[in-house]
């Protein structure tokens, strides 16, 4: 299986369990991956036969910036569901970093799911 990866996608989102976190945006950094078959794009050299990573990045950025989750895990689940609903991937994954979560470290969650995960 082939994989499209988008690394270091910076977004600002309202995320967190504390009241102050629900009052302002915080920076997040996402890495995404989608497993699919590149064979049609190998033959055609056409964007219609590939995953458009610019469009994926914009859709994920918009989703995150409009979201109001408390947990990174819930945001990750929403991102995974969106990717599986809109793109022909057999498996998708996301890593979310929250740089300001715990000083002087960074909180990170990572998960991946296959097409049958949310049925």
Residues designated as active site: 98
SS (H, E, C) the chain: CEEEEEEEEEEEEEECCCHHHHHCCEEEEEEEEEEECCHHHHHHCCHHHCCCHHHHHHHHHHHHHHCEECCHHHHHHHHHHHHHHHCCCCEEEEEEEEEEEECCEEEEEEEEEECCCCC
């Amino acid at each position: 299986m082939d994989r499209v990866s988008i690394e270091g996608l910076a977004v600002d989102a309202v995320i967190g369990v504390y009241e102050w976190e629900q009052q302002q945006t915080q920076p997040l950094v996402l890495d995404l991956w989608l497993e699919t078959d590149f064979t049609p794009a190998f033959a055609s050299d056409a964007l219609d036969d590939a995953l458009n990573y610019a469009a994926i990045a914009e859709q994920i950025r918009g989703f995150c910036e409009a979201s109001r989750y408390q947990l990174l895990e819930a945001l990750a689940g929403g991102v995974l569901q969106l990717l599986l609903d809109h793109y022909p991937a057999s498996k998708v994954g996301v890593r979310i970093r929250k740089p300001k979560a715990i000083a002087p470290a960074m909180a990170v969650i990572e998960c991946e799911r296959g097409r049958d995960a949310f049925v």
